[in-house]
Amino acid sequence: MIDELASIGSPHRHYSSTDSTNERARTLAIAGASSGTVVTATEQSAGRGRYGRSWEAPPGKALLYSAILRPPAAEHPLLSLLAALTTAEAIESAAAVRCEIKWPNDVWIEERKVAGILIESRPSQWAVVGIGINVSVEPEEFPEDLRWPAISVKRGASVQQLRLALNSTLTEWLRAPHSGALVAYRSRDALSGREVEWTRSEASAALAGTAAGIDDAGNLTLRGPDGILTVSSGEVQLRAAQSEASKG
């Protein structure tokens, strides 16, 4: 695994403008690009978010980053959590801020979303880890419905600095023992002990419970009226009374 991960960020392909760095990375992966290839862009016209949402950022003010991984890295069982941990640490290396993680992989500063992650994969062939970090987006530049819960890193951090930090932190965490990654992730768990609502899919009703930590497989556990529930997918929000960030 070490050799596969020796050089995340090389080669690096940058687009001044593209549809989606995840889409470019996917195309490159299908064409045979090597593990560790990174695609970035100054601007995206069709940035993709989770659950089919779009991801928007003004040109040059966000890091738009997609890394291609191949097995074994692409099949790391905690990849989704590692991507968030990596992002949190990269941000903290570039700016004097504290980052927490809302399971599975939204990165928060002061309970506002500073970064989002979208992993797309073709099992046993490749995974694309797409990371968007709001670096210097002004409050009025966020899309209307996200204005309150979104935040930028600011504090002099640059897009380039964050890209280089992501390359090295992602490499390190992919090589690290799973137990260490879980300890580090749990120390940033923004939901722990808090009242949340979990929705399995857009069509299903929300279930309420108290977030009770992350299990060894990276699942979220919830304590509800019927006992402990293990959540491996779907969307979790803080209950509205606890934080306005539950909108995001």
- Tell me if 77 sits within 8 A of 217, measured CB to CB: yes
Binding span for ligand BTN by CB under 6 A among 59-67, 93-101, 170-178, 201-209: 59-67
CB of 61 to ligand BTN, least distance (A): 12
Closest contact distance (angstroms) between CB of 22 and ligand BTN is 4
Binding test (CB under 6 A) with ligand BTN, winner from 9, 36, 104, 130: 130
Residue 175 contacts residue 2 (beta carbons within 8 Å): yes
Is residue 134 part of the contact set for ligand BTN (CB under 6 A)? no
CA angle 78–148–59, rounded 5-degree value = 75
- CA-closest candidate to residue 243, choices 117, 147, 149, 105: 149
Least separation in angstroms between residue 134's CB and ligand BTN is 10
Among 26, 48, 76, 163, binds ligand BTN (CB under 6 A): 48
Site size for ligand BTN, by CB under 6 A?
A: 20
Exactly one of 14, 53, 122, 147 binds ligand BTN (CB under 6 A); which one?
53
Least distance in Å: CB of 169 to ligand BTN?
16
Closest C-alpha among 161, 138, 174 to residue 36: 174
One of 9, 104, 132, 209 touching ligand BTN (CB under 6 A):
132
Dihedral, CA of residue 92, residue 117, residue 232 and residue 28, to nearest 10: -130
Q: How far apart are CA 10 and CA 118, in angstroms?
A: 21
22 binds ligand BTN per the rule CB under 6 A:
yes
Of 89-108, binders to ligand BTN (CB under 6 A) are 106
Compute the CA torsion angle 187, 190, 192, 197 (nearest 10 deg): -150
Comparing CB distances to ligand BTN, the nearer of 106 and 212 is: 106
Question: For residue 38, which of 154, 160, 203, 156 has the smallest C-alpha distance?
Answer: 160
Q: Does residue 117 interact with ligand BTN by CB under 6 A?
A: yes
| Beta bridge partner(s), residue 66 | 39, 130
The residues that touch ligand BTN, with contacts defined as CB under 6 A, are 20-22, 44, 47-50, 53, 55, 64-66, 106, 116-118, 130-132
